[in-house]
Homo-oligomer: A and B are copies of this chain.
Amino acid sequence: MDLDAIFSALSHPIRRAMLEQLAGGDATVSELARPHGVSLPAISRHLRVLERAGLLKEEPDGRVRRCQIDAAPLSAAFGWLTRYRVLWEDRFARLAEHLEETRKKERKEERKHAHNR
């Protein structure tokens, strides 16, 4: 699993949209191209990037080419990210704590203000 190729493949919105579309089922190249207002050579380049990352399989099906997602490389990216999960969960927990403290202070101020009126 080549993390460089996988993360690089995920760094473009058209390629992420293609994977989202393929997660719903196989599609032909023209079905994959349809939602994006870009040229067919550009679509082909995106498909090559996905293929090199191992995320896409293309097979001839009569006169068209049928594409299929291979999600296995995504698990490598997922695995890399899970190691940092504790860091962002810590950060969100501290942020939530900070917001709670701020809210408490505000409520206290409001009560003081209401009392003094």
Contacts and interface: CB of A to CB of B under 8 A. Distances in A.
Interface string A81-94: 11111011001100
Contacts of A82: 78
Interface in A1-47: 3-5, 7-8, 10-13, 16, 19-20, 23
A14 B105 CA distance: 44
Given A74-B88, A75-B92, 18 more contacts: A3-B10, A3-B11, A3-B16, A4-B12, A10-B77, A11-B11, A16-B80, A20-B83, A23-B84, A70-B91, A71-B84, A71-B88, A71-B91, A72-B91, A72-B92, A77-B77, A78-B81, A81-B81
